[in-house]
């Protein structure tokens, strides 16, 4: 069986990661990948994409695509950040929990109920894309110069957490904020640099160090095995 998998993602960083890393990987499992960035606004017929400003806009994109393609050989998934998740997201208030894994699972459950399509597989990244980079911060040296000390500090910081997915969503302590503090140039280049670093880290390391990401990837790899 061959399955087409459509990704609705938060921004260009995720879109590039899907196309450059997940697409060739999943093709080996008979899963063909397409990705779209959520629409943030429309002005005079032009669409502007990137950034999950409201859930309502994301829901509109998801449901439009599911209605546009009703074939049984297609599946849909998301790649949204938990960090700065819009407050109109389903179960946003009810899902406040100390355990980030329980919280993200509650939000994903609410999302799948709201979309109400058996072909839909929800995924919310803990806590943002840069958590994947912090699974192997040493690879940041390929995108920065003379930042060995900063990378060493990032490695020491990550070692204080059970995993990089545990690194929290505070305004100054989210994964991207921690990286930018040590490597300021990352802020202006993360759309291109982020996916490159994640690819250098590699899916085997990402799935071994990021359990929530690994569970999602496992599901995607098994899609073609379903009846």
How far apart are alpha carbons 58 and 52 in whole angstroms?
A: 7
How far apart are alpha carbons 103 and 93 in whole angstroms?
A: 10
Query: Does residue 62 lie in a domain region?
Result: yes
What is the extent of the structural domain holding 191?
Answer: 130-200
| CATH number of domain containing 54 | 3.40.50
Query: Does residue 205 lie in a domain region?
Result: no
Domain count, the chain: 2
Domain identity same for 31 and 76: yes
pLDDT digit string (tens) for 53-64?
A: 899 999 999 999
- pLDDT at position 43: 43
How far apart are alpha carbons 170 and 103 in whole angstroms?
A: 15
Domain identity same for 89 and 188: no
Query: Does residue 114 lie in a domain region?
Result: yes
- pLDDT at position 50: 52
Length reported for the chain: 227
Q: What is the pTM of this model?
A: 0.93
Domain identity same for 114 and 173: no
Query: Does residue 54 lie in a domain region?
Result: yes
The answer to whether residues 186 and 140 touch, using CB atoms and an 8 Å cutoff, is yes
Domain identity same for 33 and 63: yes
Query: Does residue 72 lie in a domain region?
Result: yes
Domain identity same for 182 and 106: no
Domain identity same for 78 and 186: no
pLDDT per residue of the chain (227 residues) written in tens, 0 to 9? 899 999 999 999 999 999 999 999 999 999 999 999 998 655 444 344 456 889 999 999 999 999 999 999 999 999 999 999 999 999 998 887 789 999 999 999 999 999 999 999 999 999 999 999 999 999 999 888 889 999 999 999 999 999 999 998 788 999 999 999 999 999 999 899 999 999 999 999 999 999 999 999 999 999 999 85
How is residue 19 written in tokens? 């196309």
Domain identity same for 88 and 150: no
- pLDDT at position 90: 96
Domain identity same for 116 and 49: yes
């Amino acid at each position: 069986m061959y399955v087409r998998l459509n990704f609705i993602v938060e921004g260009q960083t995720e879109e590039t990661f899907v196309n450059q890393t997940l697409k060739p990987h999943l093709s080996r499992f008979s899963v063909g990948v397409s990705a779209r960035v959520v629409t943030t606004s429309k002005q005079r017929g032009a669409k502007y994409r990137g950034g999950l400003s409201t859930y309502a806009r994301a829901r509109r994109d998801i449901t439009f695509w599911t209605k546009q393609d009703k074939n049984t050989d297609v599946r849909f998934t998301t790649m949204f950040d938990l960090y700065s998740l819009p407050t109109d997201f389903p179960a946003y208030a009810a899902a406040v929990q100390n355990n980030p894994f329980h919280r993200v699972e509650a939000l994903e459950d609410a999302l799948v109920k709201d979309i109400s399509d058996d072909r839909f597989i929800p995924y919310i990244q803990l806590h943002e894309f840069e958590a994947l980079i912090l699974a192997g911060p040493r690879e940041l040296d390929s995108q920065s110069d003379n930042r060995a000390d900063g990378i060493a500090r990032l490695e020491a910081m990550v070692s204080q957490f059970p995993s990089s997915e545990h690194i929290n969503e505070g305004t100054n302590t989210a994964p991207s904020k921690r990286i930018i503090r040590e490597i300021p140039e990352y802020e202006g280049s993360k759309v291109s640099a982020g996916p490159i670093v994640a690819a250098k880290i590699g899916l085997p390391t990402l799935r071994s160090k990021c359990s929530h990401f690994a569970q999602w990837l496992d599901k995607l790899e098994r899609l073609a095995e379903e009846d």
